Amino acid sequence: MRPVSFALKRAFGRLAVALPLTALAVAALAAPSHAADPPPGSVPPDQDPFYAAPANIGTYQPGQIVGTRKITPKIGDLDARSDVWQISYRSNDSHLAPQLVVTSLIVPKKAWTGTGARPIVSVQAPEDSTGTQCAPSYGLTSGNAIAGMGAVLSGQMLDKGWAVAMPDHEGPNSVFMVGPQTAHAVLDGIRAVKSFTAAPGIGKDNPWALNGYSGGAQATGWAAQAQRSYAPEIELKGAAMGGTPADPEAVARYIDGGIFSGFEAAAATSLAGEFPEMDLDPLMNDEGRKALKDAKGKCLTELLTAFAFKKLSQYSTVPDPLSVPRVQAVLKLNTMGAAAPATPIFNYHANTDEIVPVGQADKLVKDWCAKGATVQTTRSWIGEHALEMLLKNGEVMTFLTDRFAGKPAKNTCA
């Protein structure tokens, strides 16, 4: 496999196993007021009362709005061409415990002149981090080029007059490669926007689709397959996903000891925190316990720098911790493919992807097809992870445009 250049690695950090997006609104619907609140979005989420769950968060329904505020985005020319709100809402973690999540709603200032209500795409950014300061919503308000890259990459959607919602799909604990939690965050974010009334032309009748690449594709795929059971009232017109890390074990084994092993560290500390039943600590040596602690609260570039070329075996007291039954159970629970999405899927991937192996994405497609899904699959014979997202963007836009137009979806399932 040919090495990627430093520039490409930087590009990936900004748009691949982690593309980013977010923002929303003005009125503290049911949210407690804080006299000393800082200017909207001026401090990281951990210091911002807007991101703090109220004590009675468990009394809210999934997707019910907790608070809203309008913000001034500092990414590109979004402020000149769009109105942006941040919306906080109740969602659920992987064990269905209530938690507060924030999504960013970006609505073009230009009036919608198309047929029907303005389309909305939930864009899952490849956050690929373990710290809330790396969340897409904060990227919009801080101007952080990496965290806010999802908004930049949604430019063509905004140009078409579509609105974009960017959920902080890793949730308040910034958990990476966690399946059920991220599905809940995305779907509850759609529920929240559907009940939001401050943006003209946005409400319960807008058609919705999903889009995400790399870490954002992991969130997109999980939301697509969970929609039927978790949020059956939501209709999705389609879901585009590329460079998809569908199987955390397969991805871990592929990158272990390589330049991108920081993703492995992020996934390990995230899964261990979200699923205490994995009981990872007894399997770690002292160096491993320190690594799990050090991997928390970090953004993508920090993770890639700190854990490059690290092997899982150097941190563990057993030869292969991924094979331990309780670890296997958690990995399987977070592997996509157990249920077929009801919405049409566009699945793309480079056969030579140096970060996310194409084989596990092919298996996902096979599993979904066997369960009756409609999947349009495309593979590039040669390509690199970050560039594949850019090269396939035109096909993604065509797929989404056709879905909003009501055209029949292509199905390449055998």
**CB of 241 closer than 8 Å to CB of 158:** no
Instruction: Let me know if 95 is a catalytic residue.
Output: no
94 catalytic residue (yes or no)? no
- Packing angle, helices 179-194 and 215-230, rounded to 10: 70
User: Is the distance from CB of 386 to CB of 8 less than 8 angstroms?
Assistant: yes
- Whose CA is closest to 254, among 385, 412, 68? 385
Q: Does an H or E element contain 182, and which? A: helix 179-194
Catalytic-labelled residue, pool 88, 214, 316, 380: 214
Tell me, yes or no, if 137 is annotated catalytic: no
> Can you say whether the dihedral through the CA atoms of 191, 194, 197, 202 is positive or negative?
positive
Q: 197: Cβ–Cβ under 8 A, 6 or more apart, which residues?
A: 203
- Of 341, 312, 99, 105, which is closest to residue 220 (Cα–Cα)? 341
Alpha-carbon span 40 to 81, nearest angstrom: 19
212 within 8 A of 124, measured Cβ to Cβ: yes
Going through 194-305 in order, the beta strands assigned E by DSSP cover: 208-213, 236-242
Distance CA(390)–CA(156), nearest Å, equals 12
| Non-local CB neighbours of 393 within 8 Å, separated by 6+ positions | 153, 156
Q: Which of 261, 353, 367, 380 is catalytic?
A: 353
What gap in Å lies between CA 170 and CA 272, rounded to an integer?
Answer: 14
Dihedral-angle region of residue 126 (phi above 0 means left; psi in -120 to 50 means alpha; beta otherwise) = beta
Catalytic residue ranges: 214, 353, 385
